[in-house]
Amino acid sequence: MRKAALYRKYSDFLAGYFPYKVQKLPVDGGFTCPNRDGTRGRGGCAYCVNRSFHPSYGKAGLTITEQLVRGKEFFAGQYKEMKYLAYFQSFTGTYAPLDVLRQKYEEALAVPDVEGLVISTRPDCLPDEVLYYLQQLSKRAFVMLEIGVESTDDAVLRAMNRQHAFAETEDAISRAAALGIPVCGHVILGLAHFGTLLAHDEAARLSKTPISSVKIHQLQILRGTKLAHLYEESQQNVNKLSTFCQLGFHPLSLAEYLDELGDFVSHLRPDIAIERLVSQSPSDMLIAPRWGVKPDAFQLLFEKHLTENGLFQGKFY
Ligand code: SF4
């Protein structure tokens, strides 16, 4: 029986920075996205519906300060000592002129007990001037970037209308890490039908980058997305050769996802922290897959899967 941890948890990574509990507070900074406004593309990524990003305590029209104060109230009393990270999660959190970014980030850091920023963005929205500014900021606050990798396979990125290649992701991660800014990579499993790489290939390619952590989740088909349109079309008319039918696409079953995730994690560099294993979108938005398993229960299932199959993070790295 393996006594060491099966995988490196994000709490372990954060413990290297903070001697107390820190909670990320999602905040809508009023950003848009270059894959929606026409700068890189229109219509967005095939799976994206940004409404799924909004926190339960959030409210349109609130300032950054008001959102963070509400967020703090929501989590108040859960731990004896707790600090916060402002999490710019919605759309592309570095997609604005530098003076606008500075004003938004500084507003967040001025809220008492907000000790840092986690900024979600695209790899093609990190020019050097923004990274140099974040490097300066990181001398007085925790700063972490969350970059949408999604896949390391260019065929998948094209199929999902990402409008960037993996080379841009590698470049952004390398430039940020070289300046001492830790990077989390956001990864979606369940896209292999659209490309040529399997989960272990994706883990191996990501492991070659100086990434600090990953957030992984299953491909979800959400209402109102391009993916939903294609999927529903293929379901309603199986005789019509839609893109999905031709590719033999199906949303992963729970057992298939456990296998893919085990394959990914066992090929992932051991020092990369894993922040998330699965996602759970609101029921009214989710078309498929509908497993009915909450994230905490999924974590137990995954740990059982690893143990029963003799797997652990980095076993095949
Ligand atoms: S997933 Fe991110 S990059 Fe893609 S359309 Fe949505 S906000 Fe833009």
Pocket test for ligand 1, best of 122, 164, 215, 226 (most atoms within 8 A of CB): 122
pLDDT tens for each residue of 183-202: 999 999 999 999 999 999 99
Confidence tier at 248 by pLDDT (50, 70, 90) = confident
Q: Which domain holds residue 298?
A: 10-308
Give the mean model confidence (pLDDT) for residues 132-139: 98
- The number of folded domains in the chain is 1
Instruction: Establish if 2 belongs to a structural domain.
Output: no
pLDDT tens for each residue of 9-60: 999 999 999 999 999 999 999 999 999 999 999 889 999 986 545 555 555 6
CB atoms within 10 A of CB 154: 16
Confidence tier at 175 by pLDDT (50, 70, 90) = very high
Instruction: Establish if 136 belongs to a structural domain.
Output: yes
Q: Long-range contact list for 303-311, CB < 8 A, 24+ apart?
A: 303/6, 305/258, 305/259, 305/261, 305/262, 306/6, 306/7, 306/262, 306/265, 306/266, 307/1, 307/2, 307/6, 309/262, 311/6, 311/262, 311/265, 311/266
Instruction: Establish if 314 belongs to a structural domain.
Output: no
Residue nearest to atom 1 of ligand 1 (CA): 48
Please measure the distance between the N-terminal and C-terminal CA atoms of the chain and give it in whole angstroms: 20
CA of 78 to the centre of ligand 1 (A): 32
Instruction: Establish if 263 belongs to a structural domain.
Output: yes
Instruction: Establish if 196 belongs to a structural domain.
Output: yes
Instruction: Establish if 224 belongs to a structural domain.
Output: yes
CA of 213 to the centre of ligand 1 (A): 20
Q: What is the CATH number of the domain that holds 175?
A: 3.20.20.70
- Confidence (pLDDT) at 51: 59
- Confidence (pLDDT) at 135: 98
